[in-house]
Structure 1
Amino acid sequence: MVHSPYTIEHLRPDTGSSDQDLTPGVPNFETITLGELVRLKLPERQQIIAPIIPVQGLAMLYAARGIGKTHVALGLSYAVSCGGAFLRWQAHKPRRVLYLDGEMPAQALQERARQIIAASPHQPPTEDYFRLLSMDRQSLGLSLNLAKPEHQAALEPHLIGVELVVIDNISTLVSGGRENDADSWDAMQAWLLQLRRQGISVLLIHHAGRGENARGTSKREDVLDTVIQLKRPEDYDPEEGARFEVHLTKARGVFGDDALPFEAKLEVIDGQAHWTCKTLQDHELVQVEELSQAGMSVRDIAAQTGLSRSRVNRMQMKLREEGRLRH
């Protein structure tokens, strides 16, 4: 198993205590002074796939049914295993991935894998850089509930060398009580934090609930570095297949253009999965430009586009600076 690049020994001051000082059954917590923390020579935190999942990072991707969660999860995972790119994200070196799938038929997984591999200019260094645990391929009656310590322990042999675990999805692989009950998430959260201390990053795949939030307790998001939301564009046509907006609703350390929402579209051509992306801001800017030229007021533009009036004002200023809007 991959271990953290630094352990408690790096943090432990020399107090002269020994194992004989430990009381059986009582946790022996260690502390460190602020000065000692500042003087530590810690490794720079790298990225599993930049800029959204850091090493020892915890992330969640969620969307309503049928939008494309598994397409994104598989494409991102393959990029990590190859050291390649996916959508607007880049993995700078290959890392081992364990993909846990709780609901896809093996045939559907196989088809998507073939499309991804056929379209990619990269390959993993060896085949074991991307391993799958598909519940559809397990013995009849065998289940996986990651909220149970015994099931977490059963995964230990499969985590050796792994740097990214993808859990697709929470609804099928985590059963810890009522979904909206924050306490029911405690066992799972403890395991996620344990994986992080061991140097393993985790991407959780989840369903959207009513409105635009992830389904169930919001406590899931407390320890996460990144939360990614996929949602349908307003002008979406079901015949388009996988086309959606990508929004970072929580992103520690992600700023500027990296944090901007964008639109992604999948087209399968000759058995190859091809993705195209465009910045949503460009689309919105064009929309504001057209409505402004039509003589609509800021209030009316905001009502029609769903943008705030202050944002419409800023976009009109940008259009004037670029000479695309005269008044």
Structure 2
Amino acid sequence: MQCSTATPGTEEVVIPGVRVCTINELIERKFPPREVLLSPWLRRQELAMIHAWRGIGKTFASLEIGYAVSTGGRFLGWQAPKPHGVLYVDGEMPAVTLQERLSRIITSEDLEPTPEMFRIVTPDLQDICVPDLATTEGQALIEEAILPETDLIILDNISCLVRRAGRENDSESWLSVQEWALKLRSRGKSVLFIHHSGKSGAQRGTSRREDVLDSVLALRRPQNYEGQEGCSIQIHFEKARGLSGPDVEPVEAKLITRPDGTRKWEYHAAEEGIADAVVEMVHLGMDRKEIIRELRESYGKSQATAYRLTEPFFKKPSQ
């Protein structure tokens, strides 16, 4: 289908229009399968976000994810079937800090990436500053760094990399970045946005950011967390398109330093912490529907799991 524009006395200009197919044509069309980059949630053409309050550990987690994807390694219970190219765009961290964190990951893991599989943009190596992804010029500069083998682009973080888009809660300000992310997805690329959480616990700014995302992960402190514990987090799926059940259950993880200075992540299901949260909500006088809604929206629980967790507190007396 084509569109044409012409005024009297001028030459007609033909503009490509919207491509349309029938239902049978779509079903019969051979599309390449969405390859898994980090099982089960991070797939090819994925648009995802991790958000957390400052200091929780979102950069620790995003570096580990990038490293696992680039080496065919593992982070927590998530496994990369094989190595995929990663471009990590950092917007605020001093290069020496980034160097230290990556060095510790390398010495703590069994696998090392080939150099071209994990590539980094860091502010300290730029002549001026990192590109502003709210502008087409900034987007073009990052695209120049995307190689054919780059399958995952990690943008850490939105506040530092998207600077001229206007107010964070203005939905229109996100459109240029969203359109760029969709173009990258159409080219087979995956994009992982790293962002801050707001006071409500949701990602900071306009909720429109989440409309096109396949996955949204929130990092939170475990209940009864104490500062001397270091990096200790709970990971909650707030949105997980195409996933359900155990794949989206919250995980509690802690970064442990071994006697030799290397590090490892210990992790387990975060069921216990959620049970404590249910007790607190019951004591606050919330009814069962309100608690189930909170478990689904804030903790990523399925309807069935939320119902089970509330059952002991609202069980009807036997007749």
1:277 aligns with 2:264: no
Match of 2:58 in 1: 69
Q: Are the equivalent residues in 2 in contact too, given 1:165–1:201 (CA < 8 A)?
A: yes
1:148 aligns with 2:135: yes
Equivalents in 1 of 2:284, 2:268: separation in Å? 21
Equivalents in 2 of 1:247, 1:312: separation in Å? 16
Deviations 1:184-236 (A, max 9, x none): 10100000000000111000000001111100000000000000000111210
**Aligned with residue 264 of structure 1, among 238, 253, 259:** 253
Match of 1:166 in 2: 154
Equivalents in 1 of 2:125, 2:27: separation in Å? 49
Partner of 2:145, secondary structure, is: helix
Deviations 1:110-163 (A, max 9, x none): 111011011111122x21100000012212x33410111111112222111210
Deviations 1:39-87 (A, max 9, x none): 1122222211111211011000000000000000000000000011101
**Aligned with residue 234 of structure 1, among 223, 226, 229:** 223
Q: Are the equivalent residues in 2 in contact too, given 1:226–1:250 (CA < 8 A)?
A: yes
| Aligned-CA RMSD value | 2.7
Question: Which amino acid counterpart does residue 156 of structure 1 have in structure 2?
Answer: E
Equivalents in 1 of 2:269, 2:39: separation in Å? 17
Q: How far is the alpha carbon of 1:254 from its aligned partner?
A: 1.3
**Aligned with residue 196 of structure 1, among 155, 165, 185:** 185
Question: Which amino acid counterpart does residue 269 of structure 2 have in structure 1?
Answer: T
Q: Are the equivalent residues in 2 in contact too, given 1:102–1:136 (CA < 8 A)?
A: no
Partner of 2:70, secondary structure, is: helix
Write the mapping of 1:14-33 to structure 2, written as runs, cut at 5 A.
Answer: 24=13, 26-33=15-22
Q: Are the equivalent residues in 1 in contact too, given 2:223–2:273 (CA < 8 A)?
A: no
- Given the superposition, is the C-alpha separation of residues 26 and 67 from structure 1 closer, same or farther in structure 2, using an over 3 Å criterion? same
Equivalents in 1 of 2:284, 2:17: separation in Å? 60
Match of 1:303 in 2: 283
Question: Which amino acid counterpart does residue 263 of structure 2 have in structure 1?
Answer: A
Equivalents in 1 of 2:250, 2:190: separation in Å? 23
1:178 aligns with 2:167: yes
Q: How far is the alpha carbon of 1:304 from its aligned partner?
A: 7.7
Match of 2:70 in 1: 81
- Given the superposition, is the C-alpha separation of residues 27 and 83 from structure 1 closer, same or farther in structure 2, using an over 3 Å criterion? same
Deviations 1:215-260 (A, max 9, x none): 0000000000000000111210011111011000000111111110
- Given the superposition, is the C-alpha separation of residues 151 and 284 from structure 1 closer, same or farther in structure 2, using an over 3 Å criterion? closer
- Given the superposition, is the C-alpha separation of residues 303 and 100 from structure 1 closer, same or farther in structure 2, using an over 3 Å criterion? same
Deviations 1:254-306 (A, max 9, x none): 11111100101012233322101010125556x69xxxxxxxxx988832899
- Given the superposition, is the C-alpha separation of residues 32 and 137 from structure 1 closer, same or farther in structure 2, using an over 3 Å criterion? same
- Given the superposition, is the C-alpha separation of residues 303 and 96 from structure 1 closer, same or farther in structure 2, using an over 3 Å criterion? same
Match of 2:209 in 1: 220
Aligned residues: 287
- Given the superposition, is the C-alpha separation of residues 196 and 315 from structure 1 closer, same or farther in structure 2, using an over 3 Å criterion? farther
Question: Which amino acid counterpart does residue 153 of structure 1 have in structure 2?
Answer: A
Equivalents in 2 of 1:238, 1:304: separation in Å? 27
- Given the superposition, is the C-alpha separation of residues 26 and 120 from structure 1 closer, same or farther in structure 2, using an over 3 Å criterion? same
Gaps of 5+ in 1: 1-14, 18-22, 289-297, 318-327
Q: How far is the alpha carbon of 1:107 from its aligned partner?
A: 1.1
Q: Are the equivalent residues in 2 in contact too, given 1:56–1:196 (CA < 8 A)?
A: yes
Match of 2:297 in 1: none
- Given the superposition, is the C-alpha separation of residues 24 and 89 from structure 1 closer, same or farther in structure 2, using an over 3 Å criterion? farther
Match of 1:93 in 2: 82
- Given the superposition, is the C-alpha separation of residues 39 and 234 from structure 1 closer, same or farther in structure 2, using an over 3 Å criterion? same
TM-score (norm 2): 0.83
Equivalents in 2 of 1:132, 1:305: separation in Å? 49
Tell which has more relative contact order, 1 or 2 (C-alpha 8 A, sep 6+).
1
1:55 aligns with 2:35: no
Match of 2:232 in 1: 243
